[in-house]
Amino acid sequence: MAEDFERIVREFQDRIFRLAFSMMGDRAAAEEAAQDALVRVWRGLPGFRAESSLSTWIYAITRNTCLTALRRRELPADSLDEPAGRRAAERNTAAGWQAPPTADAAALLDLLPARYRQVVALFYMQEKSYDEVARMLDLPIGTVKTYLFRARRTLAEEFARSRARQGGV
Amino acid sequence: MACPDFEELIRQGPAGHAAHCDDCRGRLEAWTEIDGAFTSAFADVSAPAGMAAAVRARVAREVPLRPPSILPEALDFIGWAAVLALAAVLLPQLLLRLGIVLIR
């Protein structure tokens, strides 16, 4: 069993971390949640009956671990329809997308509702694979495509508007 | 997004309709720029270097997981075997005594 777990760590640690990152919004919280998820995987491994695929099981554990961590935060989890840009400034500092490598991407993501933000981040982390994102989030692939299209459309409009404003000044 | 051809334009690239439509060209450029920003921000995100080691350390501190013990099943079997053995010894005697009583 130890070898099975070692293989899981090697094979899934990046994807578990990315899924956690897309849900938690910052690297430190994502690492903590990813570690917790892997420990839960270890505990659950003897009882894993292969009724679902291993990856489905691992992703479900990761999502549940992140949701528990988000609930544990004093701040409420993102409302699915709440544009992140309207959140309070201190909330952005505590749990927002301040961690991604470039400020531009962080600012863009902050313009999106949480459900789009998560799909967009995961899509780019997972080498633009609709299929993998759908599996990781347990969403139909059509939903992933719709969320991505709407998110990009929103961002492109915002981008074009801001350019027009700059051009007009 | 006023232009219904926009999605198709994304596939065709700037050489298509966008070359003649200022609105679509602007959006296409914005789209490309957004795509570039996210690609550079998220393309190389992977688990932190020490994460796997930290997980292994945490798992090592856990109570070692073993396959389920067969002891409860063994004790169960012994218990039922004892009950059956006792019944096998006592039941004939009981029936014998009952028969004698009935004959009398």
Short-list B18, B43, B42, CA closest to A160: B18
Q: Quick one: tokens of A65?
A: 């671990």
Q: Assess A49–B contact: CB distance below 8 Å, yes or no.
A: no
Q: Quick one: tokens of A133?
A: 């994102």
Q: Tell me which of B88 and B70 has the higher pLDDT.
A: B88
Cβ contact (<8 Å) for A46 and B67? yes
**Whether residue A137 has pLDDT greater than 80:** yes
Average pLDDT over residues B70-76: 88
List the Cα angle A166/A167/B3 in 5-degree steps.
100
* DSSP of chain A: -HHHHHHHHHHHHHHHHHHHHHHHSSHHHHHHHHHHHHHHHHHHGGG--SSS-HHHHHHHHHHHHHHHHHHHSSSPPPPTTSBGGGS-HHHHHHHSS--SS-HHHHHHHTTSBHHHHHHHHHHHHTTT-HHHHHHHHT--HHHHHHHHHHHHHHHHHHHHHHHHHHHH-
- What is the tens place of the pLDDT at every residue in A107-131? 888 888 888 989 999 999 988 889 9
Short-list A150, A153, A152, A134, CA closest to A142: A134
Q: Quick one: tokens of A57?
A: 């099981």
Question: How many Å lie between the alpha carbon of A1 and the closest alpha carbon of chain B?
Answer: 9
Residue A133 CB: number of other CB atoms within 10 A? 28
Contact A35, B55 (CB under 8 A): yes
**Residue from B8, B31, B51, B62 to probe the interface with A (highest A Cβ count within 10 Å):** B51
**Whether residue B81 has pLDDT greater than 70:** yes
Chain B residues contacting A via beta carbons under 8 Å: 1, 7, 26-27, 30-31, 33-35, 37-43, 45-48, 51-52, 54-56, 58-59, 62, 65, 67-68
Name A21's Cβ contacts closer than 8 Å, sequence gap at least 6: A27, A30, A121, A125, B45
DSSP B45: -
Q: What is the ipTM of this complex?
A: 0.72
**Residue from A15, A22, A39 to probe the interface with B (highest B Cβ count within 10 Å):** A39
For A98, nearest residue in chain B (alpha carbons): B41
Q: Tell me which of A74 and B86 has the higher pLDDT.
A: B86
Q: Assess A107–B contact: CB distance below 8 Å, yes or no.
A: no
The whole-number pLDDT of residue A96 equals 45
pLDDT band at A19 (very low <50, low <70, confident <90, very high): very high
Question: How many Å lie between the alpha carbon of A135 and the closest alpha carbon of chain B?
Answer: 18
